[in-house]
């Protein structure tokens, strides 16, 4: 995508994003209240993938300090591009998309958390990368890891099979440089979101028995955040409703 050039287009874009953000926040509060939960229990994670650094700057000026990205090759330059502007109060970047092991080192240099960890081999690579980054002072705290679980067992779409979830969670919690923060899932295509998130919530409750610190449940996007909030989500990852439709090629 190209960056807005003139001042006028930049201002229009800022207004557009501010309006969309306000309505998403209202939608999320309403969802929380209808679910009998406090709006402070559910974080809004704006997903900036495929949108330019200028949009991240707009969100930052609107007070947001967490951003979600899904592709390393898109995210790394964007993080680098904004680092200097955000030095006084650095945001937290969250990797939410599938991650290849050979990108672990790059991501460990800038990510606060990774929501999409679904294999033991990726855990090993991230543990090593985070440990080195900590030793070298590139990062100051352990990397937060959410294990992504596949709700329908179609692991080609990302996520570990539920039968291997506990083993993988144990591996994360035993790995140096990593902290097991919680669980994440994307509902299967054509699934009823309420049924999918109810299933996810019960997997999360079981995980909490062994790992009481794994409190985060990353669930819900533009199309299904209300259902996710009804079933214990602590973080909704919202792109389209805040920034608009992504270019088709990006989906
Ligand atoms: C892109 C993406 C989102 C945001 O989706 P929207 O429908 O645009 O809100 C959330 N989670 C993941 C893993 C994504 O890749």
Ligand 1, CB within 6 Å, residue ranges: 47, 49, 70, 96-97, 186, 221-223, 237-241
**CA 163 vs CA 102, 160, 198, 203: distances in Å:** 26, 8, 17, 11
Q: Ligand 1: which atom is nearest the Cα of residue 221?
A: 9
The answer to which of 1-5, 6-10, 19-23, 162-166 has the lowest mean pLDDT is 1-5
- Atom 1 of ligand 1: nearest residue by CA position: 239
- Atom 7 of ligand 1: nearest residue by CA position: 222
Does residue 248 sit in helix, strand or coil? helix
State which H helix or E strand residue 205 sits in.
helix 193-210
Contacts of 173 (CB under 8 A, 6+ apart): 179, 180, 211, 214
pLDDT per residue over 163-220, tens digit each? Answer: 999 999 999 999 999 999 999 999 999 999 999 999 999 999 999 999 999 999 999 9
User: Rounded to the nearest whole angstrom, what is the distance from the C-alpha of residue 47 to the centroid of ligand 1?
Assistant: 7
Q: Any idea which architecture 10-83+91-243 has in CATH? A: Alpha-Beta Barrel (3.20)
pTM: 0.95
User: From CA 143, how far away is CA 108, in angstroms rounded?
Assistant: 7
pLDDT per residue over 69-104, tens digit each? Answer: 999 999 999 999 999 999 999 999 999 999 999 999
Mean pLDDT of the 37-61 span: 97
Sign of the CA dihedral with 172 first, then 180, 113, and 25 last: positive
């Amino acid at each position: 995508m190209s960056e807005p050039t003139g001042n006028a287009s930049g201002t229009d874009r800022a207004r557009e994003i501010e309006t969309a953000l306000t309505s998403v926040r209202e939608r999320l509060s309403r969802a929380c209240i209808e679910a009998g939960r406090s709006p402070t229990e559910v974080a809004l994670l704006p997903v900036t993938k495929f949108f330019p650094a200028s949009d991240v700057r707009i969100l930052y000026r609107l007070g947001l300090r967490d951003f979600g990205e899904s592709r390393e090759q898109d995210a790394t330059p964007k993080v680098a591009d904004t680092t200097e502007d955000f030095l006084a109060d650095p945001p937290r970047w969250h990797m939410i998309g599938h991650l290849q092991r050979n990108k672990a080192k790059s991501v460990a240099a800038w990510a606060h958390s990774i929501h999409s960890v679904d294999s033991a081999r990726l855990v090993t690579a991230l543990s090593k990368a985070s440990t080195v980054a900590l030793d070298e002072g590139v990062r100051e705290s352990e990397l937060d890891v959410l294990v992504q679980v596949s709700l329908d067992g179609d692991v080609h779409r990302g996520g570990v099979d539920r039968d291997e979830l506990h083993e993988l969670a144990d591996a994360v919690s035993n790995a140096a440089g990593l902290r097991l923060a919680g669980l994440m899932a994307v509902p299967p295509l054509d699934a009823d979101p309420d049924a999918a998130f109810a299933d996810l919530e019960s997997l999360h409750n079981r995980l909490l028995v062994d790992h009481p610190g794994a409190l985060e449940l990353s669930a819900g996007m533009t199309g299904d955040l209300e259902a996710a909030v009804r079933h214990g989500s602590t973080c909704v990852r919202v792109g389209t409703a805040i920034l608009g439709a992504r270019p088709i090629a990006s989906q």
